[in-house]
Structure 1
Amino acid sequence: MTTTTEQLEQVARLAAEAAPVWRTSSAGERAGWLRAIADALDANATELVEIADRETRLGSARLTGEVARTTGQLRSFASVVEEGSFREIVVDDADAGATPPRPELRRWLVGLGPVAVFSASNFPFAFSVAGGDTASALAAGNPVIVKAHSGHPELSRRTAEIVAEALRAAGAPEGSFALVEGREAGNALVRHPVVQAAGFTGSVSGGRALFDLATGRPDPIPFYGELGSINPVVLTPAAVTARGRDLAAGLVGSFTLGAGQFCTKPGVVFIPSDAGFEDAVATAVGSVAGGPLLTDRITAAFPDGIRTLLDDASTSIIAHGAETPDGARPVVVTTDAAAVAARPETLLEEVFGPLTLLVRYRDEADLHAALHVVPGSLTATLHAEDGDDVSETLELLQLRAGRVLFAGWPTGVAVTWSQHHGGPWPATTSLHTSVGATAIRRFLRPVVFQDAPERLLPPELRDAALASVPHRRNGVLVIPA
């Protein structure tokens, strides 16, 4: 099913009409609308999981958990809206004695207007129709138009029906939410003058094409894309000596989780030469199965990615996981740091699926030369011991990732106020996160009222309302009791 030009125009017109209602909605109204969506999805979870498993083969246990994460995100953003600090309200009182004289200024953040959201294939709930981008855009006070992913069309339509009906029943305006389908409709959506921002999770090539459309408009709009990420991991010699077997088991569990289709998969692991870590990984992966990949396109690309790696003379396969009749078999490839430093464009290309690349390094200089060419990632992980001097390594990892881990493995992203799910290009196209409370910041813009009569101020900026909202006044942070 493809959305026609006429259908897209209708959707855009309704979203434009709904935008002022969303922008001026009270915290209570907006939070109620978000919770209504969450309640409706929970009420229909069994049906949705059955559809999702049929289209993605991710399994009911994984998908049931993902529905809970999705509804949890919606409720979390409802709480963010009610708490109010996302508005970043700042008041400077008038001061005629200042040099120069200062007018009264009241600043806050408001919704941009209709937002386009592009669904991801690997998270059919949490990063899809009612996922984090949709939740944060609605929480910011914007109608949302979602472009469905072709990997789960039936699920996308049913989820959209549930969301739209929940909003309607909760009293949200017509045009608050809509779904479009087809690549041309997605391209047209980004170019449509009604749309004021776009969120995307997917491939570098697809994201870059949409980014160029967004910035090439007569009126360019922000494009928040989460694209490719290899998520480097560094193991020090001391860490391998102290707990090599456990680290190997953790790595295998992480890079094979979800058949290697997580954007936070540890794709490149720097290991000390001659420490025996490759053998530990080979032992750990031998009995671990992969699984079916999400789409025919991803399934075809996985062996192509392996072949591209193996075309480099420095690489070799050291281990496979267990074979499965209808899934991608896990694979571990090795190379060395000198080759990575010389040919990063080949050896550090993301391979989506259950593959990890072990990169042997001789010493710190060898490691750091390779880390200098690692592209931007969502995460970086450092496993070291207390006696290790890792200051320079840590500095390099901080430059290349938005989240640095010192224990565990990067798969799994907590939905919290402090979370940052983003990183330098090509991990994302901006400095903002797509997970956690501050993801809302992507879909807001600042507006300042100067010397405005109180009757013309938005209710939230009047003194009576400020008593219950975190804000800054004359440089002093005010926290309601």
Structure 2
Amino acid sequence: MQTATQELQDLTAAAHAAAGPAAAASDVERASWLLAIADALDANVTELVAIADSESRLGPVRLTGEVARTSGQLRLFARVVTEGSYLEVVIDHANPDSTPPSPELRRMLHPVGPVAVFSASNFPFAFSVAGGDTASALAVGCPVIVKAHSGHLELSKRTAEIVTQALHDAGAPEGLFALVAGREAGTALVQDPFIKAVGFTGSIPGGRALFDLAVSRPEPIPFYGELGSLNPVVITAAAIASRGGALAASLAASFTMGAGQFCTKPGLVFIPAGTNFGATVAAECVGKAAAPMLTDRIAEAYPAGLAALAAQPGVDVISGSTEQNAEADGAGAVVFSTTAASVIARPAELLEECFGPTTLLIEYRSEEELAAALALVPGSLTATVHAEDGEDIGALVAQLTGLAGRVLFGGWPTGVSVNWAQQHGGPYPATTSLFTSVGATAVRRFQRPVAYQDAPDQFLPEALREANPLGVPRRVDGVLRLA
């Protein structure tokens, strides 16, 4: 399945034509489009799960839950746009007595225009054709063209058919949504002059290549890429002494969940030196069955990643085997162990993400050594701390806050709630921007601010008019007003 050049150009031109009507549609109208897609996905869940299971090997239980998550986030964005604060309306009335005199300024966010979305391999629904990027872009009035992932082409095609029909039945503009496929089509999509932003979830090399294309265009555009993440965890000595067995069991469950193919897998676990925590984790992994990986390419890469880490000086394999045939037998859990001193000496070799059910335990001898090693960890989606009540971990929390977009206390990062407060993004290479790709504020990626100065009321968007006919939250002369 490969989208031809002319077809791609026709689709982007149609998206460009749909951008005006989509932006002009009311919040209620756009919410109805999202709800129509959500209802259609739920109505076709059995068919979609069967196709997804045949392509992704994730199993019907996981996939059925993922469809529910996908329709749920569509419904969340319908609530977001009808609530109104997503517009970030700010009004400052004229003040002739200020120095210098201030004109009247009214500002709000507008959709950027057609958006390209790249599907992820590890979430064939939630980060794919009708996933969060698509939902958040459509919510604010941006047409969407999705580049299908090669790992689930049939599912992408069928999902796109369902989305297209749902939008048509809901009265959405023609050209609002489309699907393309093929590596060349993806590259051309990022470079197409009608595309105004890109949402991407995938590997660091692939994402960085597309990012470079996006910013080197004659008209550079924002590229919102979620690339790679090690998601460090820090466990204190007091936490291990108090509940080491429970922590080991929950860690083993977290890093092997979904065959270790979650972007929030805890890939680095810092533990105090001189404990038996590593042996306890290793024992928890005994008997864990190997699991099939998403694609043959991912399965082929997993043993290579294991072998590269095992070959590093100072790294020990304390559970599992690095000699695997993940393509034929599935991916088996592997636990590595090293020291913070080794990480400090060779960060480039030891702080490399390995996609699959593996984690690296890193023993630290002091808080100073822990801080030095953490300072070398690349930006991550999450950072986690397990400590006991009364421990002074303020400095550690501050360091983790600078490292990740979500800081967890006492839990594990696998599992990303879809709600108003969620932040799924972090410093590079976790993401190429400071925005979230999950939760209500994901819409902010596909909007741009416009200010109107001394504009007659009748020419203003309704959200900016003095009477506030839409009843949206606004900040007026510095005071937040909910309606």
TM-score higher than 0.5 here?
yes
Q: Cα RMSD (Å) of the superposition?
A: 1.3
CA distance in 2, matches of 1:337, 1:273: 9
1:290 Cα deviation (Å)? 3.1
Give the match for residue 28 of structure 1. Answer: 28
Q: Which runs of 5+ in 2 are unaligned?
A: none
1:366 Cα deviation (Å)? 1.9
Cα deviations by residue, 1:367-426 (Å, 9 ceiling, x for unpaired): 111111011100000001113222222222111101010111000001111110011111
Cα contact 1:288–1:321 (8 A) shared by 2: no
Give the match for residue 305 of structure 1. Answer: 305
Give the match for residue 152 of structure 2. Answer: 152
1:123 Cα deviation (Å)? 0.2
Per the alignment, in what secondary structure is the counterpart of residue 463 of structure 1?
coil
Per the alignment, in what secondary structure is the counterpart of residue 58 of structure 1?
coil
Give the match for residue 360 of structure 2. Answer: 357
CA distance in 1, matches of 2:239, 2:365: 15
1:321 Cα deviation (Å)? 8.5
Which letter does structure 2 place at the counterpart of 1:327? G
Give the match for residue 226 of structure 1. Answer: 226
Give the match for residue 370 of structure 2. Answer: 367
1:316 Cα deviation (Å)? 1.3
CA distance in 2, matches of 1:77, 1:290: 37
Structure 2 residue 367 is the aligned partner of structure 1 residue 343 = no
Give the match for residue 427 of structure 1. Answer: 430
Write out aligned runs for 1:401-480 (5 A): 401-466=404-469, 468-480=471-483
Per the alignment, in what secondary structure is the counterpart of residue 468 of structure 2?
helix
Per the alignment, in what secondary structure is the counterpart of residue 200 of structure 1?
strand
Give the match for residue 192 of structure 1. Answer: 192
CA distance in 2, matches of 1:86, 1:407: 31
Which letter does structure 2 place at the counterpart of 1:268? L
Per the alignment, in what secondary structure is the counterpart of residue 271 of structure 1?
strand
Write out aligned runs for 1:284-303 (5 A): 284-303=284-303
Cα contact 1:120–1:127 (8 A) shared by 2: yes
CA distance in 1, matches of 2:250, 2:283: 12
CA distance in 2, matches of 1:60, 1:391: 43
Write out aligned runs for 1:182-261 (5 A): 182-261=182-261
Give the match for residue 397 of structure 2. Answer: 394
1:66 Cα deviation (Å)? 0.2
1:279 Cα deviation (Å)? 1.1
CA distance in 1, matches of 2:314, 2:321: 22
Structure 2 residue 176 is the aligned partner of structure 1 residue 173 = no
Cα contact 1:130–1:163 (8 A) shared by 2: yes
Cα deviations by residue, 1:190-232 (Å, 9 ceiling, x for unpaired): 0000000000000000000000000000000000000000000
Alpha-carbon distance change, 467 to 218 in structure 1, aligned in 2, over 3 angstroms: closer
1:82 Cα deviation (Å)? 0.1
Write out aligned runs for 1:81-92 (5 A): 81-92=81-92
Give the match for residue 76 of structure 1. Answer: 76
CA distance in 2, matches of 1:342, 1:207: 28
Write out aligned runs for 1:327-342 (5 A): 327-342=330-345
1:115 Cα deviation (Å)? 0.2
TM (norm. structure 2) is 0.98
Moved more, 98-107 or 298-307: 98-107
Cα contact 2:89–2:463 (8 A) shared by 1: no
1:451 Cα deviation (Å)? 1.4
1:282 Cα deviation (Å)? 1.0
1:464 Cα deviation (Å)? 2.9
Alpha-carbon distance change, 176 to 467 in structure 1, aligned in 2, over 3 angstroms: closer
Moved more, 290-299 or 198-207: 290-299
Give the match for residue 54 of structure 1. Answer: 54
Give the match for residue 141 of structure 2. Answer: 141
Cα contact 2:271–2:361 (8 A) shared by 1: yes
1:236 Cα deviation (Å)? 0.4
Cα deviations by residue, 1:428-453 (Å, 9 ceiling, x for unpaired): 00000000000100000001111112
CA distance in 2, matches of 1:98, 1:399: 39
Per the alignment, in what secondary structure is the counterpart of residue 270 of structure 1?
strand
Identical positions, percent: 63
Match of 2:387 among 384, 397, 401: 384
CA distance in 1, matches of 2:167, 2:44: 15
CA distance in 1, matches of 2:186, 2:315: 39
Cα contact 1:286–1:321 (8 A) shared by 2: no
Q: How many residues align?
A: 480
1:467 Cα deviation (Å)? 6.4
Which letter does structure 2 place at the counterpart of 1:175? G
CA distance in 1, matches of 2:386, 2:460: 53
Which letter does structure 2 place at the counterpart of 1:457? L
Cα contact 2:8–2:185 (8 A) shared by 1: yes
Which letter does structure 1 place at the counterpart of 2:451? V
Which letter does structure 1 place at the counterpart of 2:19? A
Q: Which runs of 5+ in 1 are unaligned?
A: none
Cα contact 1:89–1:106 (8 A) shared by 2: yes
Give the match for residue 41 of structure 2. Answer: 41
Cα contact 2:290–2:329 (8 A) shared by 1: no
Give the match for residue 130 of structure 2. Answer: 130
CA distance in 2, matches of 1:397, 1:106: 38
